[in-house]
Amino acid sequence: MKHHKAQRKFGRVRKVRTALLRGLVRNLVMHERIETTITKARELRPHVEKLVTLAKKDTLASRRVIASRLGNDMETSVKLHEVLGPRYKERPGGYTRISKLGTYEDAKRDRAIIEFV
């Protein structure tokens, strides 16, 4: 039974899925807009929203939690705390937007853009 199994698996084992999501989070934070499939964008959104909410606090504990969730990528962590955290200080949530683009020509996957609001 599939009770309380909300996360998507993408046909990957846990370590590879974690690496995929970390890479997507890093790219979204650094470029502030990426193009991906719609299922990856929907899985990515809660991870990014939680990191931005942590970055708004700007404490030592939040810096350590964000660094550990990103695999100790300091460049992304610094951008979250110094750029994105202050930008969304007054916003209570909903930092990202997903826009559908249609399908890829070679495969029947739906494309989407996920970006910061």
pLDDT tens digit sequence for 41-82: 999 999 999 999 999 998 999 999 999 999 999 999 999 999
Q: What span, in angstroms and rounded, lies between the C-alpha atoms of 102 and 14?
A: 29
Give the side-chain half-sphere CA count within 13 A for 98: 18
pLDDT digits (tens, 9 = 90+) for 26-48: 999 999 999 999 999 999 999 99
Does residue 105 surpass a pLDDT of 80?
no
Domain boundary assignment for the chain: 33-116
CA atoms within 13 A on the CB side of 92: 0
Q: Which residue has the tokens 């809660």?
A: 46
Q: How confident is the model at residue 107 (pLDDT cuts 50, 70, 90)?
A: confident
Q: Does domain 33-116 have CATH number 1.10.760.10?
A: no
